[in-house]
Structure 1
Amino acid sequence: MPDTMSFLHDLGWSDLPPLAQIRVKMSLLDLIAIAAGAQDTQLTRIIADHAVAQFGGPHPMVFDARTASHAGVALALGMRIDSLDGHDGFNPSKGHIGCSLFPAALTLAQVRGASGAEFLATLAMGYEVGARAAIAQHASAPDYHTSGSWGAVAAAAASARQLQLSGAQTRHALGIAEYHGPRSQMMRCIDHPTMVKDGSGWGAMTGVSAAFLAQAGFTGAPALIVEDAPDVWADLGQRWYVTEQYFKPYPVCRWAQAPIEAALALRRAHGFAPGDIASVEIESFHACIRLATANPEATDEAQYSTSFPVALALLHGDIRPEHLSDAAITDPAAQHLSGLISMREHDHANAAFPLTRLARVTITLFSGQRLTSDWHEPRWDYTAPPSPDEISAKFRAYAGPVLGPARTRAIKDCVDDLEHRDLAELGALLFAPV
């Protein structure tokens, strides 16, 4: 694996094309936005307490006054981000690279004293590794596993780079991470939404642990999804998958976002009120229909639903983190409207999935009028991405209420100019309590 090892350890920030550099920074800012917005979720509290109690150590935790081990820091941050489902993702993986990668890279790079440019290059490398690991795993495994499974390999690659492991040690780190990565069944959490979510925190923790084990002489090579899938890895350093990540305008499962756009298009075009709606029918792909929790009792259920976010969108014209708190989801108007929604599969949408997520919505009003949308895709796909200004606005909307305007502005300025700064400047803003 000489070319892969060279890419993992030697990729520099200046080696990236300009668009890839822009997207790395957008993803970084977006991940921080979600971490801030998730401050008050029950999952965030539980996993942070767990990291301190069971993964104790001297290293700072994000937006927390306490400390944990590197593995504990990565676990807590990965699960924290996962607790508010608004972070970037990758269509072919049916999952998210950054949620496992960023926590692993951040905790080790901060302690190493890495430059901002080195940290950004590590993230860029990790997105490329994670994308290919995901594609290879999906092609070789019959079950649909969570992002943490292949995300563990990306986290191990970032950790190996920050620990400056040898090529042989890195090879073992990737193998250990692949072997011990959480091969958790994603559709189980879709059918029964709970706090286990997308396994990303466990992937981050596994990747960090794998690198330290390899450094100590623990063996685990090969990583089959790296070494036994040469066609997937042949374009490493040529095709930049970091430019093919989508972003989320709403903090709910990506599968629910095409129906949201279809419903909002009808709301804008016809101007009806929520009380005018007699019924709503959603046509989409199989996995979207499996998000079947109509009347959630907790935020995790609300985020892994199709009907409830559509109801929120029809009520508010938008979906924001405050609409998804455990207290807010008891809103009788949202619960009632969600109960009016039915869903069915459509062959057209199934054929397009997972590279394209399609949905069509029909709303019947009490007047008897039937309104049917066109087929819609989620907003902010990589083929029609948000601008940096739009991601900045999202960052302010999510982080501002939690961190305050001064700290929010300082983080944004630091990320914008991070290649010319030390990572410690950003770390001082992230590794401090709220």
Structure 2
Amino acid sequence: MAHNPQTNTFSRVADFTLTRAASDMPESALEAAALMMLDTMGVLIASGPMQAGVIARDTAALLYASTDPSYGARMLFDGRTVSMAGAAYAAATQTDNLDGHDGYNPTKGHIGVVVLPALAALAEHCPNLTGPEALAAVVAGYEVAGRAGLSLHASVSDYHTSGAWNALGVVAMAARLRGLSADQMRQAMGIAEYHGPRSQMMREIANPTMLHDGSGWGAMVGLSAAVLAERGFTGAPAITIEAEEVTPYWNDLGTFWQVEHQYVKPYPICRWAHAAIDGVRAVMIAHDLTSAQIEALHINSFHQAACLFAGLPETTSQAQYSLPFAVAVQAVYGRIGVEHISGSGLSDPAVANLMSRITVAESEHHSVRFPEGRWADVTIRTTDGRVLKSGDIHARGGPEAPMTRDDVIAKYTQFAAPVLGQDRADRIRQVILGWPDKSARYADLTPLIFDPPEP
């Protein structure tokens, strides 16, 4: 591929990725990037003790280490040194297995889950990285990954997991922070797209496991591709960037900022279930209901939501790809926390009892609005004979019904403080939210993110 001239679209992507300074990005985009990194950090921290994260970190230590310190990186909240690709793999796999991280409606997938791990791994070798330049790399990751996702969904028939396309966002970050040339970045994009995990999302929905959204492999492929290209390895052109038919998805790069339009999840559950959860939450608050007053509960939602796991989950993976279970937890406890989707929470008798009174149906009315929207409506019949309806509900957290900045900060604290303690969690928050300041240094975060949590 090296001898082929760069296409106009790739030249635009390379110019944006490699030369657009933080000072030439909107302050709103940098602020959004910092908030997304805080939100993702909270999910990463909360997922650390979970089985999938432990396995991923141990496996990275076994299989994905480096013999050269200049390519090594410490694993987050673990401290063991592996390769940069191994560290990013472990952190992204860990985060992906607590389904509370951000996403982008049009891509039907997730970006921050690879951006934060990639940033942490790459920054190990950028000692002078400023806060604004760290955020500029984050923005590049979001903007490139999101458009690659749109391009892939528009050009292939299968619904692929996020790892298939968010790997290209990782390449963009690596190219920027490691000083790759435009041609090296082009080779890396081709390598990452070729090897990106084009796994079928609906297979995971039908049989929930620790595979989740493929983002661990996306992070590892993206960083591996960048290092390969840096050392002279070549790749075929990335068709999600360079094919003529996907050009429209890249025309607004640098003018429309996708990072400002991510959704934040109020619950650590697949977002396809969130509209139904929100509907039940709204009806119960409006009518001051308890779960004991629910005689029957019916949910109408879009096709993909109706395909979510229907039974009583045996694993955290099944619980996070649930619909009746998640709705029942919300109805019984008024919230959904990590404790509800793991351990004894999976066999909670009060939740199981309510699930037996919940029914789910697909509604074409809601299906035609997916993926731009995540809609549902809920009907509750009470023990005293009332029939209460939510009307059409759109999932909270996205541009249509955003969580406030304070909401996102509160969510981060709820996830991070029980694992790290309030003081350490607060210091991490202060550093990340301070990155937009011109005097901020990324290195201020370093002492806070590698030591394991105290028992």
Query: TM-score interval w.r.t. the shorter chain?
Result: over 0.9
CA distance in 1: counterparts of 2:393 and 2:124, whole angstroms: 42
The aligned counterpart of 2:368 is 351
Q: Which amino acid aligns with 1:71?
A: A
Among 245, 250, 253, the residue aligned to 1:233: 250
Alignment match, 2:442? 423
**Structure 1 residue 428, shift from structure 2 partner:** 1.9
Distance of 2:407 and 2:124 partners within structure 1: 28
Q: Do 1:329 and 1:335's aligned partners in 2 also have CA atoms closer than 8 Å?
A: no
CA contact (8 A) 2:87 2:121 kept: yes
Aligned equivalents of 2:124 and 2:213: distance in 1?
Answer: 25
Tell me what 2:95 maps to.
Answer: 81
In structure 1, the residue matched to 2:6 is none
Q: Which residue of 2 aligns with 1:411?
A: 428
Partner of 1:360: 377
Give me the whole-angstrom Cα distance separating, in 2, the residues matched to 1:42 and 1:293: 23
The reply to whether residue 247 of structure 1 matches residue 264 of structure 2 is yes
* Contact residue 71 and residue 209 of structure 1 kept, 8 A: yes
Distance apart, 1:18 and its partner CA: 2.4
Counterpart among 12, 20, 38 of residue 11 in structure 1: 20
- 1:424 and 1:263 map into 2 onto residues whose CA distance is 44
Displacement of 1:292 in angstroms is 2.7
Measured against aligned partners, the alpha-carbon deviations of 1:52-77 in whole angstroms (never above 9, x if no partner) come to 11112342110103121111100000
- Decide which moves more: 134-143 or 115-124: 115-124
Q: Give the unaligned 5+ runs of structure 2.
A: 1-9, 67-71
Match of 2:401 among 380, 384, 388: 384
Q: Paired residue for 2:184?
A: 169
Aligned-pair distance for 1:17?
A: 1.5
Q: Distance in 2 between matches of 1:255 and 1:230?
A: 29
Task: Give 1:112 deviation, angstroms.
Answer: 2.2
Match for 1:422: what amino acid? Answer: R
- SS at the partner of 1:100? helix
The one-character-per-residue Cα deviations of 1:94-118 (angstroms, maximum 9, x if unpaired) are 1101112221222012222222222
Q: Identify the residue that residue 104 of structure 1 maps to in structure 2.
A: 118
Matched residue type, 2:221? T
Q: Which residue of 1 aligns with 2:288?
A: 271
Whether contact under 8 Å (1:38, 1:81) holds in the other structure is: yes
SS at match of 2:410: helix
Q: Structure 1: which amino acid aligns with 2:445?
A: L
Matched, 1:72 2:86: yes
Query: 2:35 matched to which residue of 1?
Result: 26
Alignment match of 2:73 (pick from 53, 59, 62): 59
Tell which deviates more after alignment, 407-416 or 111-120: 111-120
Which amino acid counterpart does residue 11 of structure 2 have in structure 1? Answer: P
Greater alpha carbon shift after TM alignment, 382-391 vs 394-403:
382-391
- The 2-side partners of 1:237 and 1:89 are apart by 20
Residues 302 and 363 of structure 2 are in contact (CA less than 8 Å); yes or no, is this contact kept in structure 1? Answer: yes
Deviation beyond 3 Å, 4+ runs, structure 1: none
| Amino acid in the other structure paired with 1:205 | M
Q: Does the 8 Å contact 1:294/1:339 carry over to 2? A: no
TM-score normalized with structure 2 length: 0.93
Match of 1:120 in 2: 135
Secondary structure of the residue that 2:58 maps to in structure 1?
A: helix
Q: How many Å apart are 1:160 and its aligned residue? A: 1.7
1:188 paired to 2:197: no
Partners of 1:133 and 1:150 within 8 A in 2 = yes
Distance in 1 (CA, whole Å) between partners of 2:433 and 2:54 is 30
Give the one of 281, 304, 317 matched to 2:334.
317
CA distance in 2, matches of 1:18, 1:8: 17
Q: Distance in 1 between matches of 2:80 and 2:120?
A: 16
The answer to whether the Cα contact below 8 Å between 1:13 and 1:120 also exists between their aligned partners in 2 is yes
In structure 2, distance between residues paired with 1:323 and 1:13: 41
Inter-partner Cα distance in structure 2 for 1:234 and 1:158:
20
- How far the C-alpha of 1:274 sits from its partner, in A, is 1.5
Q: Letter of the aligned partner of 1:160 in structure 2? A: A
- DSSP-derived class of the 1:352 partner: coil
Aligned to 1:157: 172
CA deviations on 1:254-283 (whole Å, 9 max, x unpaired) are: 100000010111111222321222221110
Match of residue 203 from structure 1: 218
Q: Which region of structure 1 is more displaced relative to structure 2, 280-289 or 374-383?
A: 374-383
Q: Is the 8 A contact 1:295 1:339 kept in 2?
A: no
1:345 Cα shift? 0.8
The residue matched to 1:305 in structure 2 has which SS?
coil
Determine if contact 2:309/2:318 at 8 Å carries over to the other structure.
no
Structure 2 residue aligned with 1:284: 301
Alpha-carbon contact 2:395-2:401 (below 8 Å) kept: no
C-alpha distance 217-230 of structure 1, shift in aligned 2 (>3 A): same
Percent of pairs identical after alignment?
A: 43
CA contact (8 A) 1:293 1:301 kept: no
Q: Report which stretch shifted further, 418-427 or 67-76.
A: 418-427
Deviation at 1:90, TM superposition (A): 0.2
Q: Distance in 2 between matches of 1:163 and 1:327?
A: 45
Q: Provide the rounded CA distance (Å) in 2 between the counterparts of 1:192 and 1:339.
A: 21
Q: Does 1:39 align with 2:48?
A: yes
One-letter amino acid of the structure 2 residue matched with residue 353 of structure 1: F
Q: Say whether 1:400 aligns with 2:414.
A: no
Equivalent residues of 1:173, 1:221 under 8 A apart: no
Structure 1 segments unaligned to the other structure (5+ residues): none
Q: What secondary structure is seen at the aligned counterpart in 2 of 1:327? A: helix
Higher alpha-carbon deviation: 219-228 or 361-370 = 361-370
1:138 Cα deviation from its structure 2 partner: 0.3
